[in-house]
Amino acid sequence: MVDSDSRALRENGFVRLPALATGDTLARLRRAVGRLEELARDRTASTGDFVLEAPGIGGWSAWQQGAGALTGVLRSAERIHVHVPEFDAVQGALGLAEGPVARAVGAPGTLVNAFLWAKPPVVGSAKPWHQDMAFAPPGFGTEEHGIVTIWVALEPATPRNGCLEFIPGSHLLGLFPHTGDRERLPGEPPLERAVEPHVADEDLPRAAAPVAVPLEAGSAVMFDGMVLHRSAPNTTAAEPRTAVSFVYKVPLPSWTRREPAAARR
């Protein structure tokens, strides 16, 4: 990553990484996703690591409400590097922690999670505006650490099928208030009506317009854990949007604002 890319991450909160995974590397990631899909093939309900898509209300809400889902149709999965170790092998072979992440923040990152983000045609649901650091687990140490994510498109990601969108510079404004329901813990009863945690429209900053980041297959976007981002639903009839992301714990970036962002109208 050249100096201009590092500067773009610091100033905007995100930067494209073109052609990050090509040839055999891209094929390895796609095969690994196929193994995840096999693990989910007979699932009829979401769990903590595997969230199935549900028409109309979306996979996350259906999971929290205990509503019906589409058998085996994944919306997302986490800890994919544990379920399918090939993901860990690929990110290690690409040198993401010591390469792009280290050049961006000045020190290598430590892989803390990896995700599948599937958005099937027609039923692929939206992800609302949010900041990843709002969901840091207990004990993460947000005063000492931040996160940097590398999100790799395995198929073309477009505005039509739900590519990521970012609000440039929002990572410099602190943590915004998130509204909605927390994810229910194992054993807790289903919610009657679940609202996925998000930043409400009236609290979004107005200084910069959202920017869509379409990606070719194998290209990626790297972003700071404080930047506001979302993805629209997949409105296409036959264009799946499948991606994997690798999340790295890093020393707290020098640009991170610790105090909460003021609500902006």
Contact 179, 197 (CB under 8 A): yes
Mean pLDDT for all residues in the chain: 93
- Asked whether residue 256 is assigned to any structural domain, the reply reads no
Residue 3: band (very low, low, confident or very high) from pLDDT cuts 50, 70, 90:
low
Asked whether residue 2 carries a pLDDT value surpassing 80, the answer given is no
Return the percentage of the chain with pLDDT > 90, whole number.
82
- Classified as helix, coil or strand, 108 is coil
Per-residue pLDDT band for 111 (boundaries 50, 70, 90) equals: very high
Pick from 76-85, 100-109, 135-144: least confident:
135-144
The parent domain of residue 31 ranges over 3-181+188-251
Instruction: Name the domain count of the chain.
Output: 1
pLDDT tens profile 155-201: 999 999 999 999 999 999 999 999 999 888 888 899 989 999 999 99
Element (DSSP H or E) covering residue 258: none
Cα–Cα dist 44/152, whole Å: 27
Determine, yes or no, domain membership for 196.
yes
The pLDDT of residue 27 is above 50: yes
- CATH code for the domain in which residue 113 is found: 2.60.120.620
Whether residue 257 is contained in a domain is answered as no
**CA neighbor of 131 nearest in space, from 82, 70, 177, 182:** 177
In a domain, 243, yes or no: yes
Prediction pTM value: 0.95
Instruction: Tell me whether residue 265 is in a domain.
Output: no
Burial 74-103 (b: 16+ CB within 10 A, else e): bbbbbebbebbebbbebbeebebbebbbbb
| Mean pLDDT, residues 220-248 | 97
Burial grade of 180 (CB within 10 A; 0-12, 13-18, 19 or more): middle
Q: What is the DSSP string of 154-220?
A: SS-B-TTTT-EEE-TTGGGS-PPP-BSPPPPPTTPPPPSS----B--GGGS--SS--EEE-B-TT-E
Q: Which pLDDT value is given to residue 262?
A: 63
- pLDDT tens readout for residues 118-168: 999 999 999 999 999 999 877 777 789 999 999 999 999 999 999 999 999
The pLDDT value given to residue 137: 78
User: Is it the case that residue 105 has pLDDT exceeding 60?
Assistant: yes
Whether 198 is covered by a domain: the verdict is: yes
